[in-house]
Amino acid sequence: MNANDSPLPILYIDETILVINKPAGLPTLPDGYDPAAPHVRSLLEPHVGRVWIVHRLDRDTSGVLLLARTAEVHRALNSQFDQRQVSKTYHALATGSPAWTSKTVDLPLRADVGHKHRTVADPARGKLAVTHLRVLERFTGYTLVEAIPETGRTHQIRAHLAAVGHPLLADALYGSPHAVEKPPLMPRLALHARRLTIEHPVQRTPLHFAAPYPEDFARALDELRQADG
């Protein structure tokens, strides 16, 4: 087992946890329609041994992903997530220009709606969902937004941004008007898990992880800056 030969970029590893910068396009767990297709565990385990998934990122979301290396640590980390002791920060390229600089969206969300299995705002039947949004940079037609979710609902950031009228760039599921633009500014939905803060499950000290932008996200930002320059 040699972590140096890992096919995925490792941000941190010790005897208890593993943190990677997950590339876009790779599912966290096996695909129900194609169980043999590569996923995070299948690529990592030949190099680092067995790992347990602590939280998920959508297939097309890149960035910081935490994994446990023992069942006991997995339980401890799950408890941190359940008790909202974990801080997660995402960067998103949203369409349009919000009228606000910062905003907290607390629309309840209901998952798995309709034949497209979308998550929708539903004040009557939805579950508590809170996302803190902050504008980082504005461009013509787009905005770089920081999103900090307090809760962990399916597609929470995507659904909340769509609900306030600023769906993610290239997010066809939630109604982005630029989802099929040609040539595409982004080949996939523009969401990146930028930072994660946890308490080490054994040492009980805070750990902070940050994932650099992948090439497609960085290139899209450069193109937008140049266009506005």
By annotation, the residues acting in catalysis are 58
Write the CA distances from 62 to 97, 141, 195, integer angstroms.
Answer: 23, 23, 11
**One-letter amino acid of 6:** S
Enclosing H/E stretch for 223: helix 215-228
Question: What is the spatial distance between Cα 80 and Cα 88, in angstroms, rounded to a whole number?
Answer: 12
Q: Looking at the DSSP assignment, which residues form a beta bridge with residue 13?
A: 18
* Helix, strand and coil in the chain, % to nearest 5: 20, 30, 45
Closest to 8 (Cα-Cα) out of 65, 58, 59: 65
Dihedral sign, Cα of residue 148, residue 219, residue 59, residue 194: negative
Q: SS3 sequence, 79-137?
A: HHHHCCCCEEEEEEEEECCCCCCEEEECCCEEEEECCCCEEEECCCCCECCCEEEEEEE
Which residue's entry shows tokens 């194609």?
34
Burial class from Cβ neighbours inside 10 Å (0-12, 13-18, 19+) for residue 135 reads middle
